[in-house]
Amino acid sequence: MLRSRATSLPKIVRTVVQLGFVGLMAWLGLRHQFPGTGAGGAPIDSFCPFGAVESLPSLMDGFGFIRKTGTSNLVVLAALGAVTVGLSGAFCGWLCPFGGLQDWLSAIGRRVFGMQLRVPERVHAYLRHARWVVLGVIVLMSWRVLGLWFADYDPFRALFHFKFESTLAYGLVIGTVLVGLAVERAWCLYLCPLGALVGLLGKFGLVKVRRAEDACTDCGACTSRCPMRIPVERLDVVSDQHCTMCTDCVDACPKPGALVLSTGVKGESLRPLAVGIAAVLLFFAIIGTGWTLGFWQTGRGCAGCSLESPTAVVVSPQTTRAGAVVARLE
Ligand code: SF4
Ligand code: SF4
């Protein structure tokens, strides 16, 4: 079914913010591959919050950050954490460049084909938990190899690394485009390991979409607009792990006051635009604080396109944990 997607001010601002983050990532990726275009950049992996998660096993073992990561990853993870604790899933709805790309691909898909595919409800009910399995496998493999094991399979990295070294990298980019055109936010719904973490932390987020049962007419406009397939009209508080705080449901609701964004304090509510602006400000406030305190250190390290970090544990995806320990001791 083709759902109507009226353009509203929050939606326009959200698109502009997403464009900004996609542009920033593209610039960082290009700066790394073509040092002449900037100051000679760190690998794109240094700016991904998930790099900090993958580095944790190595850090806990006293091996330091794995190759291509640094304290910058921790700072970005802290910024993501602050946004999520305050504004639930807003990182995914407003800031994540890969989320933005998927939104645009599905908009193109709807326009070109007049529809998008929907995974059948019974399959969706199971598949929506698959990103936990992806997260578990990555954490396990990161612990085993003490390296960025997921990097070769990560479509975000394949896109923004701007160096398509393998057939797999091409496949990931083509797959991202095709799936993005066909199914709305498929990566976020079913596979994204970072989205799983945001979903977990977001459950404890302060601001949420809340429904006033006495004002709600059960028209279902909110549910049919939700890109994450959340049954908003049946919930009092949307604390679903998949909510991205995109605010589309609030936008779609025809009854003033039936759906609001609030912390739950009676009489208090936030405009959708305020959620996005707060997310951007909070995110960059934490990054700026980390930077100012001298805690921003990016990793180095694609062999051949940048410098190797002298202190990093250099392991390949094939390397075993035991091998990494031996390499470190040598
Ligand atoms: S689920 Fe993953 S890809 Fe989607 S918006 Fe969130 S972090 Fe980005
Ligand atoms: S439409 Fe509403 S419930 Fe669905 S993801 Fe966006 S904010 Fe969350």
DSSP 167-194: HHHHHHHHHHHHHHHHSTTHHHHHT-HH
Per-residue pLDDT tens over the stretch 257-292:
999 999 988 778 899 999 999 999 999 999 999 999
217 in a domain, yes or no?
no
Q: Which atom of ligand 1 is nearest to the CA of 156?
A: 3
Q: Which atom of ligand 1 is nearest to the CA of 192?
A: 2
The whole domain housing 178 covers 9-203+271-329
Q: How many angstroms separate the CA atoms of 324 and 143, rounded?
A: 11
Q: Is the CB of 261 under 6 A from ligand 2?
A: no
More confident residue, 144 or 82: 82
Distant-in-sequence contacts of 259-263, Cβ < 8 A, 24+ apart: 259/209, 259/210, 259/211, 259/212, 259/216, 259/222, 259/232, 260/209, 260/210, 260/212, 261/207, 261/208, 261/209, 261/210, 262/207, 262/208, 262/210, 263/206, 263/207, 263/208
Q: Is the CB of 192 under 6 A from ligand 1?
A: yes
Per-residue pLDDT tens over the stretch 125-136:
999 999 999 999
The residue whose CA has the least distance to atom 6 of ligand 2 is 246
Q: Is the CB of 259 under 6 A from ligand 1?
A: no
Q: Which two tokens stand for residue 267?
A: 């009489």
Q: Which atom of ligand 2 is nearest to the CA of 250?
A: 2
Average pLDDT over residues 304-326: 45
Q: Is the CB of 134 under 6 A from ligand 1?
A: no
| pLDDT score of 87 more than 70 | yes
Q: Is the CB of 249 under 6 A from ligand 2?
A: yes
Q: What is the CA radius of gyration of the chain?
A: 20
Q: Is 110 helix (H, G, I), strand (E, B) or coil?
A: helix
Give the pLDDT band of residue 306 (cuts 50, 70, 90): very low
Ligand nearest to C-alpha 22? 1
Nearest to residue 199, comparing CAs of 166, 245, 147, 267?
245
End-to-end CA distance of the chain: 61
318 in a domain, yes or no?
yes
238 in a domain, yes or no?
no
| pLDDT score of 152 more than 90 | no
221 in a domain, yes or no?
no
Distance (Å) from CA 104 to ligand 2 centroid = 17
Average pLDDT over residues 181-186: 96
Average pLDDT over residues 239-250: 96
pLDDT for the residue numbered 149: 87
Q: Is the CB of 195 under 6 A from ligand 1?
A: yes
Query: How many separate domains does the chain show?
Result: 1
More confident residue, 50 or 124: 124
pLDDT for the residue numbered 86: 96
pLDDT for the residue numbered 37: 53
Q: How many angstroms separate the CA atoms of 221 and 212, rounded?
A: 15
- Would you state the torsion angle of the CA atoms of residues 118, 123, 124, 128, taken in this order, to the nearest 10 degrees? -140
Q: Is the CB of 83 under 6 A from ligand 1?
A: no
Entry pTM = 0.88
What's the mean pLDDT when you consider all of the chain? 87
More confident residue, 56 or 124: 124
Q: How many angstroms separate the CA atoms of 66 and 173, rounded?
A: 25
| pLDDT score of 325 more than 60 | no
| pLDDT score of 2 more than 90 | no
24 in a domain, yes or no?
yes
266 in a domain, yes or no?
no
Q: Is the CB of 55 under 6 A from ligand 2?
A: no
Point out which residues pair with 66 in neighbouring strands.
Answer: 313
Under DSSP, the state recorded for 217 is -
293 in a domain, yes or no?
yes
Q: Is the CB of 194 under 6 A from ligand 1?
A: yes
169 in a domain, yes or no?
yes
Average pLDDT over residues 243-268: 93
The residue whose CA has the least distance to atom 2 of ligand 1 is 195
Distance (Å) from CA 93 to ligand 2 centroid = 9
